[in-house]
Structure 1
């Protein structure tokens, strides 16, 4: 899907005053990152590292892994398409509703795809697949699968690779990374994003953690120079200042609960439980497309129309918590929408 994601404000001619469509941390990039990156400006006169080797070394030391277990990528999307290419023509299961690029990548490489509704007990579900994509925490629902359920499932299906997308793990207090399982299971791969929690989606940066044999196969098909020098500089900055640059998740989730309560008080928005700062909403009528257009044209507010997620209908939309004053702008705009539409 080239279009149809959130954060699509660039497609509109008007200035966006409040963007609820993106689940990127609203607090901007970490303090000092901009200056650090600009200090590296002269590096653009040379080619970047072929596969970000120095950054992979730093990541591996941080997590206590072998550097051969780390692959730096151009955002999680490159991870997804690399896996789809590696498993071209195989059987893949995708837990839905979820990020559309899993499906798009698998279709591009002729997978046989099975869709599984997000389970209450994954370990009890039958699986007939070579590859399983699990977004944990999930986008767009913000739901999680416990590490216990994951381990049971991974152990039960040793011939299936479980690709766990942890792009949003920094935005929850209730999820444990699958990282500790990596040394126990060869059929586990973890995808991490650097763009969400550190607010640098325009730089495109992420990494894969997996066993050495799986990583060698991925490296054999990876294109060179997909990570530019500015993105690598940002990655080094984050890991050099790791304890200082995380978003204040407890404060963010407190704001989210207040925001959710305000939305519920409107009386016409159904809110689905989420463990992250973003969450799924539903209106009965007219539909999310009309609501998005109204908010954009009347208030320069952008939301994520979620009707194009597999398994969701026209009334679904996703919101990501913003600063309280911007949350208030949306609440007031929705009150006006209610007067006009209900």
Structure 2
């Protein structure tokens, strides 16, 4: 899906007053990262490390793993496509609503796909399933599944792919990354672009049993992670304790924002993260998106291309209080004439 994601403001050729379509941390990259990357500029004259080996070692050390447990990738999207390729033509279950790239990647590599609603996960896994993708916390809903270990243990014949791209944005669930040493049927996807606001650099990693990592590595293109992304990864792990997002405040802002949006006429769904789903009461999400762009230079995420949602659903991320108020004010004009 080359189009249909959030953060697509570049398509419209206008200066945005506020962009609610992306669920990247609105506070921007960590202080000092820009200067660090500028200091690394001369390194772009050489090829990057073939498999980002130095960053692999640093991530492994940070997580108390061995380097054999980690594979650094060009963002979570590369991770998803690597898994779909390495385990092609499997019987694969996707927990929905879900990030569209799971389905697109699996279609590309001939998977037999079935879909399971989030609410039916506990008992609804189809017999014969070989591979299962779940995002926890979930994109686009912000829901969390509290006890994935129970499912991973129960279905030992299924390879669980747990996408934790938004794990830094919730207090409601803890990462399952520590379980990779306990279970050989688990791959954990981590993103380094959301919480540190560097999606343009494309950086993430996989954590799993060494046998699984070796299989995925055999399909990986050399030099897929560029020199600047590797340098950013080093900076982030070197300063991890001092560059965490202010999550307590962010979630408090989200609660206040959601309440005010509900009062403005949107139907807002509960979420455990800074982003959440909402639904317009009239016309469509596409119409609302165009209205906000044309009249207020505000961008939202039309969520009608998430399987399981409708043409009235939108996804909204919490921004600063001032920008949140721009959307609240604009929505007072979104009503039948």
Which TM-score applies when normalising by structure 2?
Answer: 0.98
The answer as to whether partners of 1:20 and 1:319 remain within 8 angstroms in 2 is yes
The answer as to whether partners of 1:281 and 1:317 remain within 8 angstroms in 2 is yes
In structure 1, the residue corresponding to 2:181 is in which secondary structure?
coil
Residues 84-131 of structure 1: per-residue CA shift (max 9 Å, x gap): 0011111100000110000000000010000000126x3333333111
Which TM-score applies when normalising by structure 1?
Answer: 0.97
Match in the other structure for 1:179? 177
CA drift of 1:180 comes to: 2.3
CA RMSD of aligned residues (A): 0.9
2:113 is the alignment partner of 1:116: no
Aligned pairs (5 A) from 1:235-250: 235-250=233-248
Residues 290-313 of structure 1: per-residue CA shift (max 9 Å, x gap): 000000011000000001110111
CA drift of 1:228 comes to: 0.4
The answer as to whether partners of 2:278 and 2:314 remain within 8 angstroms in 1 is yes
2:297 is the alignment partner of 1:300: yes
Aligned counterparts of 2:7 and 2:51: Cα–Cα separation in 1: 28
Name stretches of at least 5 consecutive residues in structure 1 with no aligned partner: none
Match in the other structure for 1:92? 92
Name stretches of at least 5 consecutive residues in structure 2 with no aligned partner: none
In structure 2, the residue corresponding to 1:81 is in which secondary structure?
helix
The answer as to whether partners of 1:102 and 1:133 remain within 8 angstroms in 2 is yes
Aligned pairs (5 A) from 1:64-79: 64-79=64-79
The answer as to whether partners of 2:93 and 2:132 remain within 8 angstroms in 1 is yes
Residues 41-67 of structure 1: per-residue CA shift (max 9 Å, x gap): 110000000010000000000000010
Aligned counterparts of 2:73 and 2:171: Cα–Cα separation in 1: 26
Aligned pairs (5 A) from 1:51-70: 51-70=51-70
- Structure 1 stretches of 4+ with a deviation exceeding 4 A read none
Aligned counterparts of 1:245 and 1:232: Cα–Cα separation in 2: 17
Match in the other structure for 1:206? 204
Match in the other structure for 1:337? 334
The answer as to whether partners of 2:116 and 2:125 remain within 8 angstroms in 1 is no
Match in the other structure for 1:269? 266
Aligned counterparts of 1:328 and 1:308: Cα–Cα separation in 2: 27
Match in the other structure for 1:48? 48
Aligned counterparts of 1:211 and 1:163: Cα–Cα separation in 2: 12
CA drift of 1:183 comes to: 1.4
